[in-house]
Amino acid sequence: THYMNIKMHNMVLLLLLLFCARQTVQSPNRTASLQPRAQTATLLQHSHLSLPMYLDSDLPLVRKDFFSPARGSGQGGLPRPVRELLLPVWPRAGGPPSVSGAAVWISCERNRMQLQVERSVLGSGEPGSHLKLGTCGVSRSTEDRLYFEYDLRMCGTQRTMINNRMVFFNMLHYDPPKPKGPIRRTAPFSVPVACYFNRFVYSYKVGYSPKVQMRKFLKKLKKVAKFVLTPRNAQWNKLSGSDHFLLGEPVFFAAEAQSLSRDERLYVLSCYATPEASPTSTPQFPVITNFGCMAESKNSRSRFIPHRNDAVRFSVDAFVFKGVTGWLYMHCRMLVSASEPTPTAKSCNYDTRTRRWVELFGSNSVCDCCDSSCSPDESAETEVVSSTSWTTDPKM
C-alpha cells in the first residue's frame, strides 16, 4: 500500500508539472494555442500547494481513461475532475469542527485500536478499575488520561461489513461504584467505538510500456519450513468436540514440520499456555523454556516423547488457570536445525530420580544450561505457532 501511495503521489506531481509547462512555455510554431497569462496566474494563485501524499477513498475519484496518454491532442486543459483533484479549492473561512470538548479519542492502526479517555469525565478516585473496553481493562494511564491499546481481535471486538467497508466495533463501558452519600458526581455510560477500513486500494498506471530485455538467472532459494501444533489424545489422534481432560491427566501435543531432509530435525524452543487464543494474552503459563528445556518436568510428569525428526511430541499434565474456565491454548516457538542437538536447539527432560537433565537424541551435556541461561539472546528469530484449543474439567 505504501508503494502504491508513493506511485500515486509521483503521478499527480508529474501531471501537474506537464500541464503547467504547457501553459507557460512559448513555442514559435504554436503561438496561437497558448493560454493568456492571466489564466496562468489564476492557476498558480497559491504561493504553494498543500497536496496530500495520498487520498483515501473507497471508490475511484476520477475515471481511469483520464490518465490515458492517447486521450486528446495533448494541447487542451486538464479535465475538470482531474483539475479539482490536483488543485483543490480551500475554504477561506471556517474549518474542521472543534474537538476541544471531546472526552474520548480513538485511533485505528492496521491491526490495533487505541483509545484515550479524559479522567475529568470519570470523577475522582481511581476510575480506571471501573472503565472497560469490551472485556479489557485500562492498558496504561497518565495524570490526565486513561489509555486502551489492544489488538482488533481482543476484548470482544466484533467485525462486520458496512457499505463495502470493514468495520471493527466495541463498547466503552463505565460503571462507577454506587455513591455512599446523598449525592453523586459521576454517572455510568456506554460509548460505541469503531474502526473503519476500506477493502480496496485503487492505483492507475500512466506513461508507456517499455520493451524489456528478458534475462534468465538462477538463484538458490532457501527452504522455509511450515509448522503445525495440535493437541492430541492418548492415541495421538486430533481432538474431537467431545474430548476433554481431567485435572492432572496428560494432555498430548504434536509439533510438525514439512519436508525436512535426513540431516535436519525439528526442535521446540519454548511453549506457554494461555486462556485466550491470542499469543500476547495473559496470564501465561510457561511449559518449555531455555531453547528446549521441559521446565514442567521438574514438578510433574510433563515430558518430551521420542518421535521422528520432522515432529516433536510432548505431554503436559492438565491444569486450569485460577478463576478462569473454558478453552486453553498452547503457543510455541520452533526451529529446524541440524539433527545433532546443541544448547540452543534441544529436547531435554528432567529425570527426578537422578536429578539431572537428559537429552532425547544426543549428548546430555547440551542440557547443562537448563537451570541457568542457554543463550544471551533469548529472542530467537522464530514466529509463534498457536495450537487449537482444548478444555480441562476443573471439578475432577
- The answer, yes or no, to whether residue 111 has pLDDT greater than 50, is yes
Q: Read off the CATH number of the domain in which 164 is found.
A: 2.60.40.3210
* pLDDT (0 to 100) of residue 70: 57
Q: Read off the CATH number of the domain in which 367 is found.
A: 2.60.40.4100
- The answer, yes or no, to whether residue 31 has pLDDT greater than 80, is no
- The answer, yes or no, to whether residue 390 has pLDDT greater than 80, is yes
Note whether 357 and 263 are same-domain residues. yes
By percentage, how much of the chain surpasses pLDDT 90?
22
Note whether 357 and 282 are same-domain residues. yes
Residue 148 lies in a domain: yes
- The answer, yes or no, to whether residue 83 has pLDDT greater than 90, is no
Residue 24 lies in a domain: no
- Of 311, 302, 301, the C-alpha closest to 334 is 311
More confidently predicted of 84 and 153: 153
Note whether 310 and 182 are same-domain residues. no
Q: Structural domain of residue 246, as residue ranges? A: 227-393
Residue 70 lies in a domain: no
- The answer, yes or no, to whether residue 119 has pLDDT greater than 60, is yes
- The answer, yes or no, to whether residue 331 has pLDDT greater than 90, is yes
- Answer with the one of 161, 178, 198 that is the final residue of a domain: 198
* pLDDT (0 to 100) of residue 303: 93
* pLDDT (0 to 100) of residue 286: 92
Place of cell 456506554: 190
Confidence of residue 273 (pLDDT cuts 50, 70, 90): very high
Mind listing the pLDDT tens digit for each residue in 197-224?
Answer: 876 655 555 555 666 777 777 766 655 5
125 phi, psi to nearest 5 deg: 85, -145
Note whether 191 and 236 are same-domain residues. no
More confidently predicted of 117 and 223: 117
Residue 125 lies in a domain: yes
- Of 179, 109, 186, 106, the C-alpha closest to 147 is 106
Note whether 192 and 252 are same-domain residues. no
Domains identified in the chain, total number:
2
Residue 244 lies in a domain: yes
Q: What is the mean pLDDT of residues 31-48?
A: 38
* pLDDT (0 to 100) of residue 350: 94
* pLDDT (0 to 100) of residue 163: 78
| Burial (0-12, 13-18, 19+ Cβ within 10 Å), 371 | middle
- The answer, yes or no, to whether residue 28 has pLDDT greater than 50, is no
- The answer, yes or no, to whether residue 9 has pLDDT greater than 50, is no
* pLDDT (0 to 100) of residue 87: 66
Confidence of residue 26 (pLDDT cuts 50, 70, 90): very low
Lowest mean pLDDT among 95-99, 295-299, 309-313: 95-99
Lowest mean pLDDT among 48-62, 99-113, 149-163: 48-62
Note whether 193 and 244 are same-domain residues. no
- The answer, yes or no, to whether residue 243 has pLDDT greater than 50, is yes
Task: Calculate the average pLDDT of the chain.
Answer: 75
Q: What is the mean pLDDT of residues 50-75?
A: 62
More confidently predicted of 116 and 68: 116
Residue 66 lies in a domain: no
- Answer with the one of 145, 180, 198 that is the final residue of a domain: 198
Residue 81 lies in a domain: no
Note whether 238 and 280 are same-domain residues. yes
d(CA 163, CA 38): 44
Place of cell 471493527: 168
Note whether 388 and 299 are same-domain residues. yes
* pLDDT (0 to 100) of residue 259: 77
Note whether 133 and 174 are same-domain residues. yes
* pLDDT (0 to 100) of residue 19: 46
Note whether 182 and 235 are same-domain residues. no
Note whether 249 and 294 are same-domain residues. yes
The strands making up 227-232's β-sheet, listed across from edge to edge, are 227-232, 250-257, 311-317, 303-305
* pLDDT (0 to 100) of residue 24: 38
Residue 320 lies in a domain: yes
Note whether 289 and 377 are same-domain residues. yes
Mind listing the pLDDT tens digit for each residue in 120-154?
Answer: 777 666 667 788 899 998 888 888 888 999 998 89
- Of 90, 64, 78, 69, the C-alpha closest to 17 is 78
* pLDDT (0 to 100) of residue 37: 35
